[in-house]
């Protein structure tokens, strides 16, 4: 009887050890992938002359800027469109990433702040429509454009916490104040850093890619992170950019 009880205890201990070992292996694999991703982000930023900002950005950017839609009615996707040509208002380069909605309806998705910071700019820009500019404590400027409307209470000088809803995805801009519908519903997201005394945009694609892996319902490039993400036909979106 004692031998039988001893054998059962050993089995339980071995089972627990096996379970803990599996958890440790999975954690190590995830940790390794996370490190590789962060190294990749630093490498990409170094190519833009902004490598010193890599760990600051990774530390203060806590959330993907589009709030998950728990109803399942809308999802979003994005691709690397930074630096592509734009013609409205003159020839220029796209200074951010457009995060598109699978439902072309204003206010279908909430927009949240990726980091803590203070609202520095709020209001209408011809190219950006209703936009918000949030400055973090590190001095990095996060730009959210084409909002349909703002969350109540948002004003210049307001302190914003990472993950806090700041507005709603829209299609405003490319005209006088109130202009809507010149392009499909999306969020233009930009990041600006100080470079030799001048505020300069950097490509946020790889940072968004990293943050999107922590959120379901995102499609980036050709990789789907959730099976029910819908992809619209190629060429069906007309996007735009900042300044």
pLDDT in tens, 189-210: 999 999 888 899 999 999 999 9
Q: What pLDDT score does 99 carry?
A: 96
Mean pLDDT, rounded, for 67-81:
85
Angle at CA 80, nearest 5°, toward 77 and 86? 105
Q: What pLDDT score does 194 carry?
A: 92
Q: What pLDDT score does 185 carry?
A: 96
Burial of 30 (0-12, 13-18, 19+ CB in 10 A): exposed
Judged against a pLDDT cut of 80, whether residue 181 lies above it is answered with yes
Mean pLDDT, rounded, for 170-187:
96
Q: Can you read off the two tokens belonging to residue 145?
A: 């454009």
Q: Tokens 């030799």: give the residue.
A: 196
- CB contact at 8 A, 184 and 237: yes
Concatenating the DSSP letter of every residue in the chain gives: -HHHHHHHHHHHHHHHHHHHHHHHHHHHHHHHHHHHHHHHHHHHHHHTT-GGGHHHHHHH--S-SBPP-TTSS--EEE---TT-EE-TTSSEE--SEEEEESS--TTSSEEE-SS-EEEEEEEEETTTEEEEEEE-TTS-EEEEEEEEEEPTT--TT-EE-TT-EEEEEB-B-SSSTT-B-SS-SEEEEEEEEEETTEEEEE--HHHHHHHHTTSSSEEETTEESSTT---PPTT--------
Judged against a pLDDT cut of 90, whether residue 239 lies above it is answered with no
Q: What pLDDT score does 147 carry?
A: 98
- Confidence grade of residue 155 (pLDDT, cut at 50, 70, 90): very high
Q: pLDDT tens across 91-141, in order?
A: 889 999 999 999 999 999 999 999 999 999 999 999 999 999 999 999 999
Q: What pLDDT score does 122 carry?
A: 98
Mean pLDDT, rounded, for 25-30:
62
Please tell me which residue, 12 or 43, carries the higher pLDDT value: 43
pTM value is: 0.79
Nearest to 131 by CA among 140, 139, 141: 141
């Amino acid at each position: 009887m004692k031998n039988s009880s001893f054998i059962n205890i050993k089995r339980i201990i071995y089972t627990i050890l096996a379970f803990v070992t599996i958890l440790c292996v999975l954690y190590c694999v995830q940790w390794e992938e996370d490190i590789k991703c962060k190294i990749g982000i630093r490498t990409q930023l170094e190519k833009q002359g902004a490598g010193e900002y890599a760990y600051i950005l990774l530390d203060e950017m806590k959330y993907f800027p589009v709030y998950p839609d728990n109803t399942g009615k809308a999802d979003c996707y994005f691709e690397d469109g930074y630096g592509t040509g734009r013609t409205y208002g003159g020839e220029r380069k796209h200074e951010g990433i457009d995060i598109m909605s699978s439902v072309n309806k204003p206010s279908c998705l909430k927009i949240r702040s990726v980091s803590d910071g203070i609202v520095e700019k709020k209001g209408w820009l011809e190219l950006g429509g209703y936009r918000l500019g949030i400055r973090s404590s590190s001095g990095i400027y996060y730009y959210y454009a084409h909002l349909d409307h703002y969350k109540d209470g948002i004003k210049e000088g307001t302190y914003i916490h990472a993950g806090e809803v700041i507005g709603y995805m829209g299609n405003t801009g490319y005209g006088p104040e109130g202009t809507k519908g010149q392009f499909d519903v999306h969020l233009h997201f930009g990041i600006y850093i100080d470079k030799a005394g001048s505020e300069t945009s950097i490509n946020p694609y790889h940072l968004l890619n990293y943050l999107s892996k922590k959120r379901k319902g995102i499609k980036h490039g050709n990789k789907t992170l959730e099976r029910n993400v819908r992809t619209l036909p190629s060429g069906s979106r007309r996007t735009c950019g900042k300044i």
